[in-house]
Chain A
Amino acid sequence: MVLLVQYTLIFASVLALVALGGCFSEHSGVINIGLEGIMVMGALGGALAMKFLPATTPGIVLFILIVLASVLVGMAFSLLLGFAAIHFNADQTLVGTALNLMGTAAAVVIVRAINVAENPDNVSSTVVYRQAKQVFLVKIGDFEFNWFMLIIVLAIIASHIVLYRTKFGLRLCACGEHPQAADSVGISVYRMRYAGVLISGALGGLGGLVYITAGVSEWKFENGVAGFGFLALAVMIFGQWRPVNIGLAALLFGFFRALSNVYTGFAPLVALKLPSSLYNMLPYIISLVVLAFISQKSRAPKAEGIPYDKGQR
């Protein structure tokens, strides 16, 4: 039971972080399908930081450096999307798909190159970080508290305030609803969209880091992040592009994802004798059903996905 709560919270944190990223990007008017790829790259940045930083580094510094590594890598990678979608009017879905493919391929190439350089016999794409991972965790009895569970609550509150209570947030939303109108009152649409994409890169990268440290202490990059970036998009839609709702939606999805990890611990579920693939499918089935019910009255930003053209009426 404790394990179920722990996994639910940690998976919900990942989903909420990434979904918040998507939320910022879409409010600025850029659809970010590439969150999956951004997560992989962020995870890579964090994993390599955990691998190479000396174990003698004091805990708090280590924590900040690892987070910084994944955030910066995520932001740098998201710039590829920003560059193409904002300045070159590219098809955002296509660029996002390219980022997803590129993220996984690049991560595998980089990790393998590092592994082979260390030991010519090691051709795997796995990074091990058993030691450094401990800085994120605090043991409370059986429950393994992860600092990110707290950070995500703060992030949701901060996002809510930024989006609805600050000049920056309201301007960002204006660019996603009606960029021409925003431009006419002197807001730089390009700058706002870059800001949205960069924030999504930062949160997506961080989400990737949290995902690979949830429960495991090594990561095989060939697997990418198993569709978590896309689940986060479903969470964002379910949360109707609002930070607080996104947090609640993430809890629901996190619960079903956690169930597939720990269902063997529950006697009644084991007694049902359902194949494990069914539990793996569950989060995706739930999200499909939820989307079917909720999409009709969707409150998506009106101008999302449409490249901004200054000359358009």
Chain B
Amino acid sequence: MDKKQKLLRNNAFQTVLASLICIVIGLIVGFVVLLIISPSGAGKAIIAIMKNFFYYPNAAAATKYFGTTLIKASALLMCALSVIFAYKVGLFNIGAAGQYVIGAGGCLYMALRFNLPWYICLIAGVLIAAAVGGISGALKAYLNVNEVISCIMLNWISLYSVNMLLSQVKDGSTPYTKLLFSYNKSAMLPTAGLNELFHNKYMTIGVPMAVIAAIIVWVVLQKTKFGFELKATGINKLAAKYCGMHEKRNIIVTMMISGGLAGFGAGIFYLSGIEQWMVQQTSVPGMGFNGIAAAFLGGLDPIGTIFASYFIQHITSGGTYVDTTTYCTQISDLISAFIIYLCAFVFFFKIWFNRYLDKKEEKSVKVKKGGRK
């Protein structure tokens, strides 16, 4: 096999290729939808979505909004990691959205009610989210409740409980929670100079922490005995039990870690002070669901997901720059939803691609043999 063949056969290369194809088709579909709505401005709108913060000609403003995109992308990355971690153990954690919500509730309540410093708030958020994840895990392990359904029920329960909890610390007559900046500065994540670098006061150590978390998840899953045990449980629960692994405990621990990751995402997002919680929300924030998109677009690899999360957030933020008199910002939600849909075909694409390579190789071998005669 020559070098080119080897590259084409490489699984990682195929994953990247498949993801890029998904992105391109997703963007084309988005463009077509824009064309249908109004052909005149469609080109400008799709460019606005892809440009995102480059929309600002001024470098300082552009870096500021680059920072905002990064902060949101870091929370998204944590949700995606939560989805990946569970998926590697054979569980579909659609509850990342609810665990994210409960994590936000936990850390904001600690920060605003008890005036605790940031690290305690963050840990509280992670722990309570892990507990909620653990409920789904325990229900699955002991009572055979499908984790998808239980997670979805918990998403709504989490949303309403957090709304109830945080109405105690909301700001007067507004539906928003109090500003961290003015009520409890100690609960804000340290910035370590990143805020000046990005001209963005919400830029904190949360962003590098999320990237480090991705690397840790990769190491745990690929390089440790613990990770191997979890994956073995996911592939075949009974075989894992036969080998002496505690399959029930593994399922619960997985869901707890998964929940904790999502809760951490909520912590680094809300403790940066960039947004307050709106206590009258009637729908679960999309962060957890977009996490599923990022996880699959990143080929279910923690490192690949770093880039995928950034991309998903980039176009989601980019959606706010379309001309809202003709189009609406949800167009980028539509694009990312379509990208998730396409990700479902990746497995099939790989099989088809390998078969195509096989055929090509066979042909070239035949030609060579024919030549020898």
Contacts and interface: CB of A to CB of B under 8 A. Distances in A.
Interface stretch (B69-77, B142-150, B226-234, B358-366): B142-150
Using C-beta atoms within 8 Å of the partner chain, give the interface range for chain A. Answer: 35 or more
A10 interface: no
Given A84-B345, A230-B152, A230-B153, A98 B283 contact: no
Given A93-B148, A109-B33, A292-B139, A101 B333 contact: yes
B205 interface: no
A33 B92 CA distance: 12
Contact of A227 (B145, B152, B348): B152
B324 interface: yes
Contacts of A102: 334, 337-338, 341
Contacts of B164: 275, 277-278
Given A80-B341, A90-B348, A116 B325 contact: yes
Interface string A93-111: 1110111111011101100
A280 B160 contact: yes
Given A102-B337, A285-B157, A296-B143, A97 B149 contact: no
Using C-beta atoms within 8 Å of the partner chain, give the interface range for chain B. Answer: 35 or more
Task: Tell me if B's interface is mostly helix, strand, loop or mixed.
Answer: helix
A105 B149 CA distance: 22
B149 A234 contact: yes
A98 B341 contact: yes
A281 interface: yes
Interface in B159-215: 160-161, 163-164
A287 interface: yes
Interface of B: 33, 37-38, 92, 94, 139, 143-146, 148-150, 152-157, 160-161, 163-164, 282-283, 286, 289, 292-293, 296, 324-328, 330-331, 333-334, 336-338, 340-341, 343-345, 347-348
25 contacts: A33-B148, A84-B345, A90-B347, A97-B340, A98-B343, A100-B289, A102-B337, A105-B334, A106-B334, A112-B328, A113-B328, A224-B283, A226-B282, A230-B152, A233-B149, A234-B149, A237-B149, A278-B160, A278-B164, A281-B156, A281-B160, A281-B161, A288-B150, A292-B143, A295-B144
Interface of A: 33, 80, 84, 88-91, 93-95, 97-102, 104-106, 108-109, 112-113, 116, 120, 123, 125, 222-224, 226-227, 230, 233-234, 237, 275, 277-278, 280-281, 284-285, 287-288, 291-293, 295-296, 298
